[in-house]
Amino acid sequence: MVNKKITSIDDLSAKDIQSIAEQAIKFKKSKKNYTRKVSKNIFNLFLEPSTRTTISFELAARKLGHNSININFEKSSLSKGESFNDTMDTLISMKPDALIIRDKNNFSPREIEKKNKIPVINAGDGTNEHPTQALLDYCVIKEIFKNKKIKIGICGDIKHSRVAHSNIKLLSKLGYQIHIIAPSYFLDKGGIEKINNKIIFHKSLNSVKNLDILMMLRVQKERIRKNAKNLMSSFKKNFCLQNKHLLNKPYLMHPGPVNRNIEISDDVLNNYPNSLILRQVEMGVYLRMACLKYILK
C-alpha cells in the first residue's frame, strides 16, 4: 500500500483538498473528542520555532485519541551535534505511525518520506512550502464564501514565504483569481508564473481594488539576515497595512506571527472588524485533525 503524505500541495488533488476541508469543517462543528482502543504514535519534530502549528498538531492528535510525541531542536541530540540523518534513523527505528516535521531545509519532508516510506506531513520547510497553513486558510475561506470564486490578494514577502508558495499552489488548483502585491526584492516573479501564469502582479497596496480577501504575510527576517534591517524598513514605509488600504472592507488574513507595524499597523491589527487572523488559528486545530485522519487512513 502507498503511504499518504502531505509534503507539498502538489501531493493533493483538488478533490483531496475539498475532502480534507470538508472534514475539518465537520470536526469544527462537532467539537467531539475521540477515544481509541489502539492509538497511533505521531512524532512532531519541530526544528524551527513555532507556536500555532506545533500546539495545533499536538491538540489535533489528542482530540483524535492518538499519542503525540514532541521533539524540538533544543531538547534533541541534534543540539549535541548528532547529524540530521542519524537523528532521523533513530526516530524511524522507534516506528512512528506518522511524522510531522518543520525544518529549515527546503524539501527535507519529501526526502524523509521517500527514504522511509512512512506518512509525513510538512509543517513548514525553509522557504519552500507550508501546506497545512494553506489548507487551513482555505477552510476559513470556504466557511465564509462556500464555493464562490472570489478575488484574493497576497501581500508581502512572497519570495521567502512558504505560506505564500503553498497558498498560491492551492488557490491556483481551485481556480481562484490571485493578486500578488510585493516589492521586487520580495518577489521571484518567474517562479510564481511557473505555478500560475494568470496571476496579476501589483507594486503597491494602493493599486489593488475590490479584493474579497487580503492575505498579509510575515516578513521572514530570519531568512534575509544580511539585508534584514534595510528591507524591513523599506517594506514598512511602503507596504505596512493601514486603514486607508481597507476602504472596501476585505476580509484580512495573516498566518501569524505578525511583525506589528511592519506588515500590519497596530490600529488595523487591534481594531479591524473583518480580521480572520484568530479564526485561522482556531481552524488550525480542526484542519490538522483532518490531515491526520487523511494520512493515517
Would you count residue 72 as binding ligand CP (CB under 6 A)?
no
CB of 244 to ligand CP, least distance (A): 27
- Name which of 204, 112, 122 is nearest 165 in CA terms: 122
For ligand CP, give the closer residue by CB, 250 or 255. 255
Q: How far apart are the C-alpha atoms of 248 and 214, rounded to whole Å?
A: 11
241-260: contacts with ligand CP (CB under 6 A): 255-257
- Name which of 180, 210, 209 is nearest 195 in CA terms: 180
Q: Which residues pair with 42 in a beta bridge?
A: 68, 98
What character string, x for contact with ligand CP (CB under 6 A) and - otherwise, covers 88-127?
A: ------------------------------------x---
CB of 98 to ligand CP, least distance (A): 18
Q: Which stretch binds ligand CP (CB under 6 A): 47-55, 67-75, 76-84, 177-185?
A: 47-55
For ligand CP, give the closer residue by CB, 208 or 224. 224
121-140: contacts with ligand CP (CB under 6 A): 124, 130, 133
99-104: Cβ within 8 A, 24+ apart: 99/42, 99/43, 99/45, 100/42, 100/43, 100/44, 100/45, 100/57, 101/45, 101/46, 101/47, 101/125, 102/45, 102/46, 102/47, 102/48, 102/50, 102/53, 102/54, 103/45, 103/47, 103/48, 104/47, 104/48
CB of 164 to ligand CP, least distance (A): 12
Q: Which residue has the cell 489502539?
A: 38
CB of 55 to ligand CP, least distance (A): 8
| Size of residue set near ligand CP by CB under 6 A | 10
Q: Which residues bind ligand CP (CB under 6 A)?
A: 50-53, 124, 130, 133, 255-257
